[in-house]
Amino acid sequence: MNANIRYRIGKSTMFKGLTILLAFACVVPLIAILFYIIRAGVTRISWHFIINTPKPVGESGGGIANALLGSIIIILVAAIIAIPIGIMSGIYLNEYKKAKLAYWSRLCVDILQGVPSIVIGIVAYFWLVKPLGGFSAISGSVALAIMMLPIVVRSTEETLKLLPDSLKEAAFALGMPFHRVILKVLVPCGISGILSGVILSVARIAGETAPLLFTAFGNPYITADIRKPMQSLPLLIFNYATSPYVDWLNLAWGASLILLVWVLFLNITTKIITRRWKVQL
Amino acid sequence: MDAPVDKGMVGSGAETAEMNLLRTANAPSIVSAVSRLKKSYRQIRTESIFKRALVIMGLAMVVLVLGILFTLVVESIPSIKALGFKFLWGKTWDPVQDIYGAYPFLLGTLLTSFIALIISVPFSFAVAVFLGEYYPKGWFSDLLKNTVELIAAVPSVIYGFWGLAVLVPTVRSFESKVGIQPIGVGIFTSSLILAVMIIPYAASLGRSMIQMVPSHLKEGAYSLGATRWEVIRSVIFPYTKSGLFAGILLSLGRALGETMAVTMVIGNTSIIPKSIFAPGNTMASVIANEFTEADKPVYVSALIELGLVLFLVTVVINVIGKKIISRFTNE
Amino acid sequence: MKNLLVTRAIILVSMTVVALSLTSCGGSGGTGGGTDSTSSKSDEALIGAGSSFDNPLFSKLFSEYDKANSVRVNYQSVGSGAGISQLTNKTVDFGASDAPMNGKQDSAISAPALHIPVTAGAVVLSYNMPEIKDTLMLTPTVLAEIFLGKITKWDDPKIAAINKGVKFPSTSILISHRSDGSGTSNIFTTYLAKVSDEWNSKVGKGSSVNWPVGLGNKGNEGVAGLIKQTPGAIGYIELAYAVQNNMAFAKVQNKSGNYITPSIASVTAAANINIPADSKVSLTNTDATDGYPISGFSWVLIYKEQKYNDRSLDRATKLVKLVSWMIHDGQQYSSALNYAPLSANAVSVGDAILKSATYDGKPILQ
């Protein structure tokens, strides 16, 4: 083996080593963040923490009950809005692949995916908060629903695309009407892909703060009225993280841990579903 | 057989007579045929309603995007009328004196995004090459792939909070050692956090691009005696150039629009940053900070105009990126 | 198809029922600690926004008010400027501001707003220098020069001259100021404009100014947060924030030449003046010999005519009663939080202003 070949092989090995190093270096910040938040947050979590609302400024104790319930309600309403529309749009894009409208629709879904969340917050403010005369959880939910749509539409379309045509043709051959073919044959067949898209979109919006800044506004009390302002986990973390009060910082750490665990859990669930059913997302 | 029309039994009227007639003369199949016909009419109607609903949903996406654009433009008009296009290169942002210039934020956004991109690209590419070429299968690569994707899953506000608690003091002590005013927050810190957040986008796209390189090209190179690195350099990279570029574009698009993490660590100063360690503001962070208290119509409108610029820029970048990808995957 | 339709209909109906029941039941209120507070109807909650200066006090006041009267108040500390614009947009019931509405804000609002003084507080200069044990003393001139960026290090001779015997570190001074429209900023800059001609001509006064140096932060909370985290930082915050967070704050020399520690006593001394009928008055650079020179009132703002946007008489009455309670019984909670209780003069002016609030032309309070 002459020197030239050894040099080239050496370069190749060095490159491989560098690649491995850099690749694993990526993981370091994530692990650091996870550990830090677990360490800072785990001591704050208790039954008391989950049940109570924040105390007046300067008093210790209190919890994040209003934010927990608020997050759940806002996300639920957003999902109720986005899921039907998203799934139907996904079905449309798959069924009418060649239509001119489908081209523009697909383009718009791609555009929606890239819109910064703060811009959606602004738009929701003008669409809902100003006309209705006040901040409300529903306006936050609408903003979040807009953010969920691209993911649900995309995953529905991709899932349905992967289903074999023979399935659809067999159903038609049996004389089933169009809507039955879609709703009773195709959708149930692709339900795992669609479901993982839904879960993914929920995970995406669970941590979103910017759209809620000018819509849901925040609320120190527990409330379930979606026409009124509501607190949510990311809003609480944002407001308390920049404050000087040690109690609030503690609440924010606990809330961050809960939010992080929740989001990671949803993402991991999605991965398990896609792997088990071998769906490409 | 003739059916006796029994007027007494069924009541009067020509229709009922007909029904009677049908009922007795080969009746069941015809009756069921009629009801089946009625059922198919209903089905056809439901079908067309459903199809129409599908089309409406497809249209809804377009309407939504147009609506967003429309709202942004309409609300920006007062500012455009008052300030014109000088707004974009105005260097001062002073709401108190009604002076609005977007330049500090354009600069802040570009600086943070591009520095973040420069920092993250080597890492993204390393992950892409690692997963696409060296270890495309196996539990080991699955672990790395999933971990990198989880980076994208962590909410932005948590990155910001961690940045405030950990990164800012670290940068602050670094600054005091190097002799710069130790603030901790600033463009540099935001770029660092952004860099971590956008790694997954270029990485996962790059990985799928690299995996798509036809093996006969690689095998041809190997059979000519190329080393692994030479194959990557001379075969894979040229082949996936456009795909990797699209990945960078997508990462850039994400970085441009990122709000929360940046708002928390950038220092919120609406002046042109003098160095990368100085505090500043991005378009997204100034909107987040000042929108709720913009009390003058021109002020609100100027902020919305910033939102419009942000919207247009991110849309263009994302669409170009996606077009490159679809052209690449359809080749 | 029929089965699927029926299933879907059932799901839809049950979700609607669940949603409706959630909205109508309104959830339990409470301020934590497991106390069995009587639940109040959530749709009766009053919404307020504004001054972060007041937030420590308001947060306590509203929690006590809810316990006593079962009326919930959702107050968001977003800064005086935001409070005024939310009131102008009619998205809140009341605003809170430490700066009276200025000419531009007056012309932007569609109907007159009443200013009711609810408390007085001190804007203190809080700093982060764990090395020095004595309290920092500042003169108006030195203070202005620090904020103008002319004095950049703590060991500057000008600072040493007024703090004899104190060994300062050579750390750079980092100014922490407000990035949002702030009544606290208004009080502070009004003071600086009065005592420094250079500040007056270069920067001026207002809720939002072009700060020559420093980092901007949202709310008193943000300014305090930055000071707490950054060695060498100095900034202006309300007294309650400094006390609640164990932060050091400076003595400031007033007009009479005395170095005054911000406290309830010194703020009360500064507030001991005749208040005009519309209650808009500044307390800065007080003539009182023992008065703290950077004090200020804080006002609650409500529309004079309460019938707008389908507001009910009930809601308007609740609002006016809340404000009335704040200036009477609510004052008992001020001192514990280092806010100065209103003087009798201020209370009577406040009462008179409140009595002028009308619903459909008729006064609400009798």
Surface of C (238-277) touching A: CB under 8 A: 240-241, 244-245, 247
**Are residues B141 and B50 both part of a single domain?**
no
- Distance between CA A252 and CA A243 in Å, rounded? 10
Query: Of A52-66, A83-97, A252-266, C131-145, which gets the smallest average pLDDT?
Result: A52-66
Chain A interface with C: residues with Cβ < 8 Å = 48, 51-58, 61-63, 69, 73, 77, 80, 129-130, 133-135, 177, 179-180, 183-184, 217-229, 239, 242-246
Given an 8 Å threshold on Cβ–Cβ distance, is A11 in contact with B227?
yes
Name which of B149, B156, B314 is nearest A114 (Cβ-Cβ).
B314
CATH class of the domain whose range is A47-276: mainly alpha
Q: Which two tokens stand for residue C265?
A: 């006593």
Chains that touch A (3 or more CB pairs under 8 A): B, C
Given an 8 Å threshold on Cβ–Cβ distance, is C108 in contact with B296?
yes
Q: Which two tokens stand for residue B46?
A: 């439901």
- CB of B302 within 8 Å of a chain C CB? The answer is no
**Below-50 pLDDT ranges, chain B:** 1-11
Given an 8 Å threshold on Cβ–Cβ distance, is C230 in contact with B183?
yes
Alpha carbon B312 to its chain centroid, in Å, reads 13
Look up residue C128 and give its amino acid.
N
pLDDT of A191 above 50: yes
Domain boundary among B57, B76, B95: B76
- Distance between CA C237 and CA C247 in Å, rounded? 10
Quote the minimal CA–CA distance from B330 to chain C in Å. 38
**Are residues B72 and B134 both part of a single domain?**
no
**Are residues B100 and B66 both part of a single domain?**
no
Residue pairs spanning A and B at CB distance below 8 A: 244
Report pTM.
0.83
Given an 8 Å threshold on Cβ–Cβ distance, is B58 in contact with A117?
no
| Collapsed DSSP state (helix, strand, coil) of residue A223 | coil
Name which of B46, B97, B183 is nearest C215 (Cβ-Cβ).
B183
Given an 8 Å threshold on Cβ–Cβ distance, is A244 in contact with C47?
no
**Below-50 pLDDT ranges, chain C:** 1, 19-42
**Are residues B61 and B187 both part of a single domain?**
no
Per-residue pLDDT, A278: 61
Domain boundaries, chain A: 3-41, 47-276
- Asked if residues B183 and C229 have their Cβ atoms less than 8 Å apart, the reply is no
Residue pairs spanning A and C at CB distance below 8 A: 128
| Residue-number span of the structural domain to which B140 is assigned | 86-330
Give the other-Cβ count within 10 Å of A166's Cβ: 9
Contacts of C92 in chain A (CB under 8 A): 134
Per-residue pLDDT, B24: 62
**Are residues B195 and B290 both part of a single domain?**
yes
Domain boundary among B76, B102, B119: B76
**Are residues B190 and B220 both part of a single domain?**
yes
Whether B101 is in a domain gets the answer yes
Per-residue pLDDT, C214: 86
Given an 8 Å threshold on Cβ–Cβ distance, is B96 in contact with C208?
yes
**Are residues B230 and B172 both part of a single domain?**
yes
**Are residues B174 and B224 both part of a single domain?**
yes
Alpha carbon B221 to its chain centroid, in Å, reads 37
Whether B244 is in a domain gets the answer yes
DSSP strand pairing (C113-127 vs C248-249): antiparallel
Q: Which two tokens stand for residue B32?
A: 């069921």
**Are residues B70 and B161 both part of a single domain?**
no
**Tally of structural domains, chain B:** 2
**Are residues B190 and B117 both part of a single domain?**
yes
For A101-152, the pLDDT digits (tens) are 889 999 999 999 989 999 999 999 999 888 887 788 899 999 999 999 999 9
Quote the minimal CA–CA distance from A82 to chain C in Å. 14
**Are residues B162 and B285 both part of a single domain?**
yes
Quote the minimal CA–CA distance from B269 to chain C in Å. 6
**Are residues B72 and B100 both part of a single domain?**
no
For C24-56, the pLDDT digits (tens) are 333 333 333 233 233 333 356 899 999 888 888
ipTM confidence = 0.88
Given an 8 Å threshold on Cβ–Cβ distance, is C174 in contact with B183?
yes
Per-residue pLDDT, A147: 93
- Distance between CA C30 and CA A54 in Å, rounded? 9
Per-residue pLDDT, C41: 38
**How many Å from the N-terminal Cα to the C-terminal Cα in chain A?**
47
Given an 8 Å threshold on Cβ–Cβ distance, is A119 in contact with B156?
no
pLDDT of A281 above 60: no
